[in-house]
Structure 1
Amino acid sequence: MPTDRRTVLADAAIGVLAEAGIRGLTHRAVDRAANLPPGTTSAYYRTRQALLTALVRRLVALDQAELQAIGEQAPLPRSAEELVAGIAAFVEQRLTGEGRRRSLARYACAIESVHYPELQEILMPRQNAARQTARDFLAAQGVADAEDRTVTLLTCVDGLVFDRLVGGGTVSDQEIRGLVAAALR
């Protein structure tokens, strides 16, 4: 549990955004979610834009740390089935628990970034060990355009996550298997 006040407020803002949507993201709502006195969020982040920027920075930092850990813990998959299993575990995490809250907040921020280019800059895809693992696997399988295929594969996985967050349900191993097979062709 972070103790730095700015981090506590950014984490609370992620939760508010996930639960109440972009219209529900207010300084007062963040104060309540963080169990802090009224006016605390406003003292640290004077404007709504400053609060949203802090939220996005924290969201990206959490995502990057998670993806880095996944990439470092998982050895290079030896088969397509191992890659499918790794992606399936990641997708399941994104659809449940804290992963679900962060996914909802991330998509809300992505929509908001259309109107705020500074948010787009922060949200742009980053390199990470998990992405590198997928790229290295595809390259090891002889895929000539492994970089492009990795981007396509992960974009399709992201689309499935979005669809299931919005429409409910889960992503089946069969769907992921199909995406991996397409990336290998």
Structure 2
Amino acid sequence: MDRRTAIADAALEVIARDGLRALTHRSIDSALDYPAGSTSYYFRTKSDLLAAVAARLVELSHARFVKIAGTENDVATLIARYLHEVLTHRMVELRARYALMLDPAVAQDIRDVLARSFFSLERAQDLFVDPAHGDGLVSLCEGLVADVVFGRRTSKNIAALELPISVYLEGAGSSLRGNSVDTDLP
């Protein structure tokens, strides 16, 4: 793993564990046992570091989705499996994402990237004749994740996640282009 990636991953950990205020170049150098000034060599400003974190979230999400998509063709099952993976193996990333998206000190362009870091609106819209249904699907997925993260929904099992997705897809049935997924969806 190169240093830029290691720094972005360490920043995710710091933000998830201690919040955005704890994120400093020095805290990353310390977490990685790098010489002082290493993080600032790669990312001059905190904004540069946050942009790297947002880009890393997009990269991780895409890689994980592609891996799952390689084994599943049914849209509802694929999305449910992806959400399950997010909720069971990516809580650090989720906590960091929410912390950054909710902090008014984070620049809007970075929050825009974060908003698309787990689910691609464009790819979801491609699933439907009417793009508004893609927007609804992303909102549903974001809501299912938030329900688990914030404790309203306790079940993270795939079947519990697949049911509302299947119901949504069935309701949008005439607008759905097909029941298979392009691996570039998130």
More helix by share: 1
Match of 2:33 among 21, 32, 35: 35
- 1:105-120 to 2 correspondence within 5 Å? 105-112=96-103, 115-120=106-111
- RMSD (CA atoms): 2.9
State the 1:34 CA deviation. Answer: 1.7
TM value normalised by structure 2: 0.73
State the 1:105 CA deviation. Answer: 1.7
Match of 2:139 among 155, 158, 163: 155
State the 1:124 CA deviation. Answer: 5.0
Q: Distance in 2 between matches of 1:20 and 1:96?
A: 20
Where does residue 178 of structure 2 map in the other structure?
none
Q: Distance in 2 between matches of 1:10 and 1:62?
A: 11
Greater than 6 Å deviation, 4+ residue runs: none
State the 1:135 CA deviation. Answer: 5.5
**Does the alignment pair 1:178 with 2:169?**
no
* SS of alignment partner, residue 116 of structure 2: coil
Deviations 1:18-59 (A, max 9, x none): 211212212222112222123221232222112111111122
Gaps of 5+ in 1: 78-82
State the 1:94 CA deviation. Answer: 0.9
Deviations 1:141-181 (A, max 9, x none): xxx53x32232123212212122123273345345313421
Match of 1:55 among 46, 53, 56: 53
> Does the Cα contact within 8 Å between 1:160 and 1:171 map onto a contact in 2?
no
* SS of alignment partner, residue 96 of structure 1: helix
* Cα distance change of structure 1 residues 74 and 174 upon mapping to structure 2, 3 Å threshold: closer
**Does the alignment pair 1:23 with 2:21?**
yes
Where does residue 8 of structure 1 map in the other structure?
6
* SS of alignment partner, residue 12 of structure 1: helix
State the 1:62 CA deviation. Answer: 1.7
> Does the Cα contact within 8 Å between 2:16 and 2:93 map onto a contact in 1?
yes
Number of positions where the alignment pairs a residue of Structure 1 with one of Structure 2:
167
Report the residue type matching 2:23 in the other structure. Answer: L
Q: Distance in 1 between matches of 2:106 and 2:13?
A: 22
Report the residue type matching 1:109 in the other structure. Answer: L
TM value normalised by structure 1: 0.73
**Does the alignment pair 1:88 with 2:74?**
no
